[in-house]
Structure formats: structure tokens, C-alpha cells
């Protein structure tokens, strides 16, 4: 690939993938730094790593996809809208296996990281319906932005459906690691028991004492 300016890197699928892979060590370093800072402030190590990994995972796994779908097309300045459910999807499927696979899988992955990591970080989002609602709202915002900015993209209801479905499937994949109870949250980790700190519920009275 001949690099001709920044756009040839940041404005192409291959370029964004290369940047994303190159940024992986930086993302790992940020996780380590955040977890270390939380441990210093008294957060239990398990919760510190869990929160840090989830936060970085949401950003690292979502920003590249949003960047790609927000990149202008060859006829920037135009805008197209499709509000009929499944119409665009049927056209994509009719275009052939290669095109269909790329389009469908790509749309499923846009908010997959959000769906996977958000329930791990926020106990209030540990619900598939809530993740579907959140992802659908984010997707609608992106589609509206595509139309307003006239990026030569099709603002389609099918994209919203696929984006939300991808987030929901990812949420199901991470369900085994969700907080066990609604009251357990990475924001309020349970205090770790300190050996030898337990005290009986009532203090035994001294032998021979009288009231």
C-alpha cells in the first residue's frame, strides 16, 4: 500500500486496522496504569483490573468502527436515507456472499465491544434489553450524524438493527462475568475481609460480673 498523506491511512479500512493493531500496546499500558492507580486508592485488585479492562475495552473496541463509518465517501456532500426495515439488508444479501458477509459482520461489530464490556463495568447495564436500548441509541446518533454531515453514507434503519443485535449478542457472550447481584458493582466493590478483624456480635461479660 502506497501511503499518500494521512487520509490514505486513517480514511481506509486497511489503514484503520493497522492503526488499531499498532495501538494495542498503548491500550494495554492504559489498562495497567488505571488498575495500578485504583489499587493504590484501595480498590481490590480484581475489581481494579475488571473496571480498567472494561473501560479501555469499550473505547478501544468501538472507536475504530465508528471512525470508519463516519469517514466520508467518494461523493461527500450527499446524504441518503433508508427507513424501510430489511430493505437495505436484502439488497446487501443479494449482492453476493463476499459483500454480504463484510457488510453484515461489520455492522454487528460496531458496538459489540460496548455490549460485551458495559455490563462488566456498570451493574445497571447488566441486562440484554438495556444493552440493546443503549446500542440502538448510539447507532441512531451515528446514523443521524452521517445524514447531517452528508458523508455519502446511507443512514439506514437496518444498520441500527444490526448494530443493536451485535451488541446484544456480545452482551450474552459476557454474561457469565456479570456482577452476581444487582447491588454488586465495580463502582462499589465489596470490602475485602481482613484476617483477624472479625469480632463477635456481643462482647462476653467478664467472669463473675454482676449487673
Question: Is 17 part of any domain?
Answer: yes
Last residue within a domain, chosen from 26, 56, 71: 71
Whether residues 55 and 138 share a domain: the answer is no
Whether residues 139 and 59 share a domain: the answer is no
Other CB atoms within 10 A of residue 100 CB: 15
Last residue within a domain, chosen from 17, 50, 71: 71
Question: Is 129 part of any domain?
Answer: yes
Last residue within a domain, chosen from 55, 71, 87: 71
Would the pTM count as exceeding 0.85?
no
C-alpha–C-alpha distance, residues 35 and 27, integer Å: 12
Question: Is 8 part of any domain?
Answer: yes
Question: Is 88 part of any domain?
Answer: yes
Question: Is 53 part of any domain?
Answer: yes
Nearest residue to 162 via CA among 111, 123, 201, 96: 111
Burial class (CB in 10 A: 0-12, 13-18, 19+), 207: exposed
Nearest residue to 154 via CA among 60, 76, 80: 80
What integer pLDDT is reported at residue 167 of this predicted model?
A: 98
Whether residues 61 and 151 share a domain: the answer is no
Separation of CA 167 from chain center? 8
Whether residues 160 and 171 share a domain: the answer is yes
Domain span at residue 159 reads: 74-184
Per-residue pLDDT of the chain (211 residues; tens, 9 = 90+): 444 555 556 667 788 889 999 999 999 999 999 999 999 999 999 999 999 999 999 999 999 999 999 988 888 888 889 999 989 888 888 888 877 888 999 999 999 999 999 999 999 999 999 999 999 999 999 999 999 999 989 999 999 999 999 999 999 999 999 986 444 555 555 555 555 555 444 444 454 444 4
Question: Is 130 part of any domain?
Answer: yes
Tell me if 13 sits within 8 A of 109, measured CB to CB.
no
Whether residues 83 and 128 share a domain: the answer is yes
- Count how many domains the chain has: 2
What integer pLDDT is reported at residue 73 of this predicted model?
A: 80
DSSP characters over 41-54: TT--HHHHHHHHHH
The secondary structure of residue 175, as a DSSP letter, is: G
Amino acid at each position: 500500500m502506497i501511503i499518500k498523506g494521512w487520509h490514505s491511512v486513517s480514511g481506509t479500512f486497511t489503514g484503520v486496522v493497522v492503526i488499531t493493531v499498532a495501538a494495542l500496546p498503548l491500550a494495554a499500558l492504559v489498562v495497567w496504569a488505571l488498575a495500578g492507580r485504583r489499587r493504590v486508592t484501595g480498590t481490590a485488585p480484581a475489581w481494579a483490573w475488571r473496571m480498567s479492562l472494561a473501560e479501555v475495552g469499550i473505547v478501544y473496541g468501538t472507536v475504530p468502527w465508528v471512525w470508519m463509518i463516519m469517514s466520508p465517501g467518494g461523493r461527500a456532500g450527499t446524504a441518503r436515507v433508508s427507513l424501510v426495515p430489511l430493505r437495505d439488508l436484502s439488497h446487501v444479501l443479494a449482492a453476493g456472499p463476499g459483500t454480504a458477509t463484510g457488510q453484515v459482520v461489520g455492522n454487528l461489530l460496531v458496538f459489540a465491544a460496548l455490549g460485551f464490556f458495559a455490563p462488566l463495568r456498570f451493574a445497571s447495564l447488566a441486562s440484554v434489553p438495556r444493552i440493546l436500548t443503549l446500542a440502538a441509541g448510539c447507532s441512531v446518533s451515528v446514523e443521524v450524524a452521517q445524514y447531517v454531515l452528508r458523508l455519502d453514507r446511507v443512514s439506514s434503519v437496518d444498520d441500527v438493527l444490526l448494530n443493536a443485535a451485535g451488541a446484544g449478542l456480545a452482551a450474552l457472550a459476557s454474561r457469565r462475568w456479570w456482577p452476581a447481584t444487582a447491588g454488586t458493582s465495580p463502582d462499589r466493590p465489596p470490602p475485602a475481609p481482613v484476617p483477624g478483624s472479625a469480632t463477635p456480635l456481643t462482647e462476653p461479660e467478664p467472669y463473675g460480673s454482676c449487673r
